[in-house]
Homo-oligomer: A and B are copies of this chain.
Amino acid sequence: MSIHKSARIPTRTSIERFRRNAIESQVSIPESEWEYLVPHLVECRFGKNDYLISAGDVADNFYFILEGLARFFYSTEDGKEFNKHFAVENGFAGSFYSLVLGAPCGFFVQALEETNTLVLPNQLLRELYERHPCWERLGRRNAENLVLQKEAREKEFLLDSLETRYRRFLKEYPGLVDRIPQYHIASFLGVTNVALSRIRRKINQG
């Protein structure tokens, strides 16, 4: 695949960063399982505006983000874009739809900065699930955390004012407000740029 032209053997630091993610999920990975995994890992760098995943394709990989950031977005037939998620350092980018159902992904994932990743092929993940229960546990914990995130977002759409949702965005993605254009945030919150500007002015004056 062309996106893997830039594939490189990962540094020791990169692998340690990824390992910390498992530790933070309170999953203990036996040394022998790490030793199996590590030779399968490659680093892949994406340029600004490159696509990690394209809608309509069955996504082949999950990516663990070492540096940079990516937005997940839907694109409609009339060319409108709707941001659904941002993944930053130590987060994952991938499609559960493709991983679980082997079906085409419905959204795009695009690097908004030069982004360095560890590549986790879906095929490798499926193989790990068969190898050892520690990987099942890591998969379960990551899926559960995603459920909690999506549940919080569902609650916001049902209940919360734009101001509450914007304040939560600032808390959930610290520093991101300075790294991406405001229209990407407005799209994530499902409002116009004008409505978001009004709220920002209100917050800054308060």
Mark A residues whose CB is within 8 Å of B. Answer: 74, 76, 82, 84, 96-97, 99-101, 106, 129, 133, 136-137, 139-140, 143-148, 150-151, 153-155, 157-159, 190
A143 to B76, CA, bound (A): 28
Contact of A96 among B101, B137, B147 (CB under 8 A): B147
Smallest CB separation, A51 vs chain B (Å): 19
Please tell me which one of the listed residues B84, B148, B151, B159 contacts residue A155 in the complex, with CB atoms under 8 A apart: B84
Copies of this chain held together in the complex? 2
Q: Contact between B96 and A159 (Cβ–Cβ < 8 Å)?
A: no
Assess the B76–A151 pair: CB atoms within 8 A. Answer: no
Q: Which residue of B lies closest to A141 (CB)?
A: B100
Question: In the complex, are the beta carbons of A157 and B159 less than 8 A apart?
Answer: no
Bound complex: CA A99 to CA B153 (Å) = 19
Which residues of chain B come closer than 8 Å to A139, judged between CB atoms?
140, 144
**CA separation between A204 and B137, bound complex, in Å?**
48
Q: Complex: how many Å from CA A97 to CA B144?
A: 9
Q: Which of B106, B140, B145 contacts A136 (CB 8 A)?
A: B140
Interface centre among A74, A147, A150, A157 (most CB of B within 10 A): A147
Contact sample, A vs B, 7 pairs, CB 8 Å cutoff: A82-B159, A97-B151, A136-B140, A146-B147, A154-B154, A154-B157, A157-B157
Closest to A75 in B: B159
**Complexed CA–CA distance, A197 and B106 (Å):** 30
Task: Indicate if the CB atoms of A151 and B96 lie closer than 8 Å.
Answer: yes
Residues of B near A74 (CB, < 8 A) are 155, 158-159
Question: Is B148 touching A147 in the complex (CB atoms < 8 A)?
Answer: no
Q: Which residue of B lies closest to A80 (CB)?
A: B159
Find out whether the CB atom of B154 lies under 8 angstroms from the CB atom of A153: yes
Contact residues in B for A140 (Cβ distance below 8 Å): 129, 136, 139-140, 143
